[in-house]
Structure formats: C-alpha cells, structure tokens
Amino acid sequence: YLHHKKIRAAQGIKISAQGLEHAIAGTALYAVRPDADIEDLKDAVMEEMSRVRNRIDKSGEGVYVQASTLGSLEALTEFLKSPAVNIPFCDFSIGPVHKKDVMKASVMLERKKEYATILAFDVKVMPDARDLAEESGVKIFVADIIYHLFDQFTAYIKNIREEKKKDSAEEAVFPCVLKIMPNCVFNKKDPIVLGVDILEGIAKVGTPLCIPSKEFIDIGKIASIEINHKQVDTATKGQKVAIKIIGSNSDEQQKSFGRHFEMEDELVSHITRRSIDLLKENYRG
C-alpha cells in the first residue's frame, strides 16, 4: 500500500484507525474538520440506522434479516414493509451470517415458528452458523436478488400452512346446517343413516353433529358422505347427500331418530372454541 495525504475522484483506499470493528459497511464516511460539530455528525450517522430500525415490527414478531451493506439492508427492509409484500422483521444485522445471528432468529421458534427464519441478502453463511441453524430448526434463505428471497420465503410459508391444515384437520370443524329430507331415514340407531339437504356451510367426514332444538344434544360424527352412491369427503350448501353418523362414545351411541330428534329438527356441526381458533389460524383467506 502507498500512503497518501489526500485522494481524489474514485480510488480504492484502505483506512487504518481505532474502533473500525464497529464500522458498518455502506455507511457514509464523514471528515471531521476542526470547526465541525461532532454531535451533529453522530446524529447524521445514526439517522441512516434509524430508518431501518423504524421499520422493525412493533409486535416483536418477524423474520431476521441480513445484508452485505447498509444500503442493501435498507432496500431489503423497504421491500419487506411494502404493502404488496408485508413480511414483518424483528431484527437485522450487516455482514456474514454468524452463530449469534442464528441464536437471535431462534427466539421465534417459541413464538411463531415460521418466523424463525433468516433472510440473507447477498451475504455468506458461516459453516458453524449453518450447522447451528440445522440443529435448532432455524431456516436460512440466501439470494443475491431480493425477489428470489421473497419467493423462497413465501414458498416456505405456504408449505408450513399446508402442514398445519393437515395436522388440525380432525379438530377444525366447519360450520354446517343440515335438514333431514322426507322419507330418507335409512337407519334410526347407531349408525344413523340419513338423507340430508345442506342448508348452510360445509359438511365434512369427521364433523361432530348436534341438535340445537333439543338442547344441543350430541348425536355423533359424520363417518361417511355419499352423493349418487359415490363416497366423498365433503359436501357444500345446496347439495343433497346421504350421511352415516356414528357415536363416538356410549352416550352418543344411544341416540336415535324418532326418540331423541325428529324430521323437523336441524342437524348442526358442534363447534368448540378450539375449532374456531384453528379455523381462524389455518383456513382464513
């Protein structure tokens, strides 16, 4: 290296000084002249970081973002906060992904698993950081184009939501109202077999049914659904189907048509608070 007292135009230089370990790539470099106000310069430097910090989601939930320079970080966070994207982030860092970054991102494993993710824009992932991520369950997505990061993350979120739907399928009870059709009572006792008209909602195999007009007594779960003698898993409003109802306990197995409910009584899905929460979380939108 050659030593220079001054430089001009575009030249690559190496600066030697104390405290450079705290310098951030991509930030402005200010010359402090004898008459300069150091506090004003400090405020100017911090203003750049504040713009990024102000985009952090106030709920404390979100992905962890990493970029090579402050400029890249600003571009990434601005993209994430745009209405069309709307991906929250809870913290950020500049430079290669280290173990400490993985540890920060892992906090989301207990709060919102899908956000236990690092979006690494144009940076390297250190081997020990990748090993820790695999052990702890933190996902790291790396790309040198912002849109590619977005595509990777949205595909990941979609897969997680599909898994949640599968896991909650048995507990997620959809609302439905069924009307018994005349001359369509094929078996009065467990298993109860009826022809019904679906007045509202979605009837699915596994849906527990109750009778609101009879103090909401439970009569069992839908074990099967048939349309034109063909087995189906679901039926929707307006369809006329045959359903088989099986009691899931001894009390429900004692329920029968003509004794506990009549033709005019509507059958309604028995929905619990847990089921409502699952529907909101996994099936909304």
Cβ contacts of residue 225 below 8 Å, gap of 6+?
203, 204, 205, 231, 232, 233, 234, 235, 241, 242, 243
The Cα 37–Cα 151 span in angstroms is: 45
Which of 30-34, 165-169, 226-230 reaches the highest mean pLDDT?
A: 226-230
**191 DSSP assignment:** S
User: Per-residue pLDDT averaged across 192-221, rounded?
Assistant: 90
The Cα 24–Cα 52 span in angstroms is: 13
Q: Given pLDDT bands bounded at 50, 70 and 90, which one contains residue 139? A: very high
Q: What residue type is 46 in one-letter code?
A: M
Residue 53 reports pLDDT greater than 90:
no
Alpha-carbon separation of residue 58 from 55, 85, 89, 111 (angstroms): 9, 17, 9, 14
User: Per-residue pLDDT averaged across 227-249, rounded?
Assistant: 91
**Other beta carbons within 10 Å of 92:** 23
Where, residue-wise, is CATH 3.40.50.10050 in the chain? 21-167
Q: Model confidence over 12-30: pLDDT tens digits?
A: 777 777 777 666 666 677 7
- The rounded mean pLDDT for the chain is 84
pLDDT at 80: 87
Query: What are the structure tokens assigned to 100, written together?
Result: 């400490």
Pairing of strands 139-143, 117-121: parallel
Query: Is the separation of the CB atoms in 115 and 108 below 8 Å?
Result: yes
Q: Given pLDDT bands bounded at 50, 70 and 90, which one contains residue 42? A: confident
pLDDT at 167: 64
Alpha-carbon separation of residue 206 from 55, 110, 121, 174, 247 (angstroms): 44, 31, 45, 10, 11
Residue bearing the bigger pLDDT, 253 or 7: 253
**Please, where are the H alpha helices in the chain?**
38-53, 70-81, 99-105, 108-111, 127-136, 146-168, 250-253, 273-282
Alpha-carbon separation of residue 138 from 110, 121, 165, 216 (angstroms): 11, 16, 21, 45
User: Per-residue pLDDT averaged across 172-185, rounded?
Assistant: 88
Residue 164 reports pLDDT greater than 80:
no
Residue 11 reports pLDDT greater than 80:
no
Residue bearing the bigger pLDDT, 60 or 115: 115
The CATH label, of 2.60.40.2580, 3.40.50.300, 3.40.190.10, 3.40.50.10050, for the domain at 21-167 is 3.40.50.10050
pLDDT at 57: 64
Which of 28-32, 56-60, 232-236 reaches the highest mean pLDDT?
A: 232-236
* Least-confidence region, from 60-64, 250-254, 269-273, 275-279: 275-279
**Percentage of residues of the chain with pLDDT beyond 90:** 34
Where, residue-wise, is CATH 2.40.30.10 in the chain? 176-282
Q: Model confidence over 109-132: pLDDT tens digits?
A: 888 888 999 999 999 999 999 999
Cβ contacts of residue 285 below 8 Å, gap of 6+?
none
Residue bearing the bigger pLDDT, 95 or 24: 95
Q: What residue type is 34 in one-letter code?
A: P
* Predicted TM-score (pTM) above 0.85: no
pLDDT at 266: 92
Among 192, 179, 170, smallest CA distance to 243 is for: 192
pLDDT at 1: 67
pLDDT at 232: 92
Residue 260 reports pLDDT greater than 80:
yes
Query: Is the separation of the CB atoms in 101 and 66 below 8 Å?
Result: yes
User: Per-residue pLDDT averaged across 214-223, rounded?
Assistant: 90
The CATH label, of 3.40.50.300, 3.10.20.590, 1.10.1040.10, 2.40.30.10, for the domain at 176-282 is 2.40.30.10
The Cα 125–Cα 67 span in angstroms is: 11
